[in-house]
Amino acid sequence: MSTRPRSEGRAVAASPGIVIGYVQKLIHGRKPIPERRLAAGAADMEVARLKQAVKAAVAEIDLEREQLSKLGSQDPLMVLDAHRMMIADPELAHMAGERVIADNINAEWALRQQMDAIQAIFNQSDNAYLRGRQHDVEQAGQHILNQLMGQQLQVPADTAAASDPERPIIYVGEDFSVSDIVQMWRQGVAAIITEQGGNDAHNIIVARGIGLPALVGAAGILKEIEDGDLLILDGEQCLWTLNPSAAEELAYEKFIEAVSISREGLAAFALQPSRSKDGREMKLMANIEFLEELDMAEQIGIDGVGLFRSEFLFLNCKEQPDEDLQYRCYAAIIRRMSGKPVTMRLLDVGGDKACLYKQATNRDYSGSNPVLGLRGIRLLLRSPQLLSTQLRAMLRAGEHGPLHILVPMVTSRNEMLQVRKLAEQLHDGMHLKQPLSIGAMIEVPAAVLVADSLAEISDFFSIGTNDLIQYTLAADRSDDEVASLYQPEHPAIQQLIYMTALAAKKAGIPLSVCGELAANPEWTEQFLNLDMHALSMSMSNILPIRRFLSKQSYHPALPPAP
């Protein structure tokens, strides 16, 4: 049981899940380190590892010093000498070894805790020189950590439980980018918490999509926590509890068990048709970013991919992916769906994704407001080669199964006409057999107001409720300062969705929802009654919505089609 004080707090948004684990702070560019509770009798081995790492770090410094001495400058040598002294200082290495024994934890974890403790003392000093030594502590400690992380640890067979799988690691930081979260997920991280972020920010959307429990907008948590603290992340209620009491810990363990049992009850809806109680079909599809996410699709039985965000392919490439690379990625997803429909969104990049913007345009974003700037189809139409390459790759991939291409950030009929004309030329030029299907993403109020005109030249509509709410209410969905103003239930949002549904029905084209409202059960009945063709959501939400849909009855809210 920790002797540190208990505290708790709320977050702005969450990705579902409950995790009880140990804290590891990731701040100021720090890389994650392994944190393990040791098996009985293993502490001496860890201390030996630490001592060996210190010797290796000193040897590394000496080698660097020898090489730099040839340059004739004394300044770098003085820096290395300072780091060497710090590495050998008993306050760092020896006290870290004491922590290994006292707390029964691995050497990396103990060293990080000791580094933080020394830096905290320096930070409180009135002496500017001592405050400046915090950087030396970090650099010296990192030398030792690098050696520890590079060692090949030999773990005896009887220490198999030392990593304490019942209490995994929860990463906590100021903010994590989308690529950070994806990398953490692929490495098997249990959960994450960030201080920054608002409801429906891109990073929390991705966390939900890949099933990673997360809290964002947990303001002030970094001041409360220390590495090694026990933390409860409650993604069901947007709560976190630091150093809980034994009673709280036990209560949450029972809660986790109850949630698990509840989710097991959803298994009855796996591979079942998505229909209302009276037999009205409304397809439930998945929003995805990566092919690996479709592993779950085979278990739950999705009705298709309602939104593939193509920018994540670009995010994983150092350079702009060429046509063949894009084709292989798109084709793999379509083949994997075995005949079920796949909707792929054209590259949706703006100044809010600075690295992708530069990759696409070879220049930095210069606008003052990226949300209202050059993004989506606006950017693609100014980058014809980028647009043509992506369209060709998607159209080629569409020969492997039903493909629908979604155009983001549409505000006018002319934008859709330009894309359709180019797509038709490419489709005919490649002599493709599968029919062309191009639709408009309705996520800007202007698109709703000209929906009748857009419907005449669109094969389908897809409502992106996240941006539609943001643009209509002038509330940045990633800004926790205005999170309370981001209100899906606002009458204006309901009216815009109704107007879009009416325009689609009049034109006889399918309409779907791919924003977060698609996974909100409070909207399921309304979407059913508005004759939605499909709802697309994070994979983890499909079975709960399918169960909820099965209890609803269809009561048409639109006038009959002419």
User: What are the residue numbers of the active site?
Assistant: 202, 514
Token pair recorded at residue 562:
């002419």
The C-alpha atoms of residue 141 and residue 88 are separated, in whole angstroms, by 10
Helix ranges (DSSP H) in 430-464? 445-449, 451-455
Give the helix/strand (H/E) hosting 24.
Answer: strand 18-25
Q: Which amino acid is at 492?
A: A
**Pairing relationship of beta strands 511-513 and 461-463 according to DSSP bridges:** parallel
- E strands, 445-492, where? 461-463
DSSP state of 420: H
The C-alpha angle 225, 227, 233, rounded to 5 degrees, equals 60
The C-alpha angle 501, 394, 381, rounded to 5 degrees, equals 70
CA atoms within 13 A on the CB side of 391: 27
CA 519 to chain centre: 17
The C-alpha atoms of residue 133 and residue 84 are separated, in whole angstroms, by 13
With a CB cutoff of 8 Å and minimum separation 6, the contacts of 188 are none
Three-state DSSP class for 176?
A: coil
- E strands, 243-295, where? 283-288
Residue pair 343/536 in contact (Cβ under 8 Å)? The answer is yes
**Pairing relationship of beta strands 511-513 and 534-537 according to DSSP bridges:** parallel
> Among 185, 170, 169, 172, which Cα is nearest to 218's?
172
Three-state DSSP class for 407?
A: strand
Residue pair 127/134 in contact (Cβ under 8 Å)? The answer is no
- E strands, 152-222, where? 169-173, 191-194, 214-216
191 by Cβ neighbours in 10 Å (0-12 / 13-18 / 19+) ranks as: buried
- Output phi, psi for 370, to 5 deg: -65, -25
The C-alpha angle 252, 541, 267, rounded to 5 degrees, equals 80
Residue pair 308/345 in contact (Cβ under 8 Å)? The answer is yes
The C-alpha atoms of residue 280 and residue 481 are separated, in whole angstroms, by 41
Partners of 255 in the β-ladder: none
